[in-house]
Amino acid sequence: MTEQSTGTAETVPAPEAPAPAPAPAPEAPAAVSPVPVSPVPVAPAVPGRSRRVLWAVARWTAAVVVCGGVGAGTAMGITALDRSDVPGLATESDGRWEYPRLRLPALPADRPRPFTPGNEGEIHYADARQLLLPAPAGATVDPKLTGGWVSEDAYLAGYGKEERARLKVALGDTALRHIAARGWTTPDGTTTRIHLLRFTSVAYADRFRIESLKSGDTDEELPLGVAEAEIIDGASGDVQVPEVTAYTYQEKKPYGPEQTRWAYIMAGDTLTMVTQTRKGGTLAVPFQQTVALQAQLLG
């Protein structure tokens, strides 16, 4: 066993002197049990062709991950858009007009709505001008019918000249309170006029419709320029307003360059006339929409 050096130099005596006894070896420290460590496997050498295959697989895997991320982002972007914003998925218009959001007008203090308990007379206490349907988006408002009060003559101008005098007398006999009106023309060429007639009672309003306008009879009063009419069934569609009734008509073929559709809407003490005229023929969808919305405002 080889001796370990202590790290210091010593003086050696003459050769004849006996060699000093060797110093005892230092005591070894206590042994510590080693912690077993799992051997790390070493990958065998990969031939050149196999290495190229592995690199190709790695590249394709990375490409799939990137494409998957892009696809997921695109899908999230599409679901966040409105249907009409996605090319090719826009919903085709069905002909309805874009009306403003409708709100019922405020009532005077302690006054009920026309068809609620406590209002046996079915009176509209709200301002009649605020019960008129507003013009749809893109429409040109008639400067003579802007939603304010109009005269009896302005309303009667929608009938034939020979009938105006008789209807004017009838309006005086039925205690008419006032008339509010609004009119407009939309880009599709349809001219709309709405006249809201408010009477002193339900009985007077109904009397004027039945006896003077003869609504529903074969000899009823026809709007200006209309020679013959026919009833339109279900013109207000699926919209049913309780206590409100709409009587709808259209000019019968053959008609001239224009066709007219009109409706009388009965709602308590108020009779409203909706008229639409269009060159080449009136359109069913906007007429149905207009009548239904006006009926809702009156209900």
Interval 4-18 mean pLDDT: 40
Per residue in 263-272, pLDDT (tens digit) is: 999 999 999 9
Per residue in 40-99, pLDDT (tens digit) is: 343 444 444 444 444 444 444 444 333 344 343 333 333 333 333 333 333 456 889 999
CATH of domain 128-298: 3.40.1000
pLDDT at 228: 94
Question: Please, what is the average pLDDT of the chain?
Answer: 77
pLDDT at 233: 80
Is residue 130 within 8 Å of 105, Cβ to Cβ? yes
Q: Give the C-alpha separation, 178 to 221, whole Å.
A: 21
Q: Tell me which residue of 181, 177, 255, 189 sits closest to 222, measured CA to CA.
A: 255
Per residue in 119-150, pLDDT (tens digit) is: 999 999 999 999 999 999 999 999 999 999 99
Q: Give the C-alpha separation, 264 to 270, whole Å.
A: 10
pLDDT at 177: 95
Q: Angle 163-177-275 (CA atoms, 0-180°, nearest 5)?
A: 50
Pick the most confident of 93-107, 210-224, 236-250, 251-265: 251-265
With 90 as the cut, is the pLDDT of residue 20 above it? no
Helix, coil or strand: residue 77: helix
Which stretch of 30-39, 212-221, 239-248 has the lowest confidence by average pLDDT?
A: 30-39
Q: Give the C-alpha separation, 73 to 65, whole Å.
A: 12
pTM: 0.69
pLDDT at 237: 56
Between 45 and 162, the higher pLDDT residue? 162
Between 3 and 209, the higher pLDDT residue? 209
With 90 as the cut, is the pLDDT of residue 179 above it? yes
Interval 161-180 mean pLDDT: 94
Which stretch of 1-5, 149-153, 257-261, 279-283 has the lowest confidence by average pLDDT?
A: 1-5
Strands 270-279 and 229-231: unpaired
Q: Which two tokens stand for residue 149?
A: 């009060």
pLDDT at 52: 46
Interval 201-214 mean pLDDT: 95
Break the chain into its structural domains and give their ranges. 128-298
pLDDT at 93: 65
Q: Which two tokens stand for residue 290?
A: 């207009």
With 70 as the cut, is the pLDDT of residue 32 above it? no
User: pLDDT category, 239, cuts 50, 70, 90?
Assistant: low
pLDDT at 235: 60
Three-state secondary structure readout of 78-134:
HHCCCHHHCCCCCCCCCCCCCCCCCCCCCCCCCCCCCCCCCCCCCCCCCCHHHHCCC
Between 75 and 212, the higher pLDDT residue? 212
Pick the most confident of 12-26, 229-243, 269-283: 269-283
Q: Give the C-alpha separation, 197 to 154, whole Å.
A: 12
Between 46 and 229, the higher pLDDT residue? 229
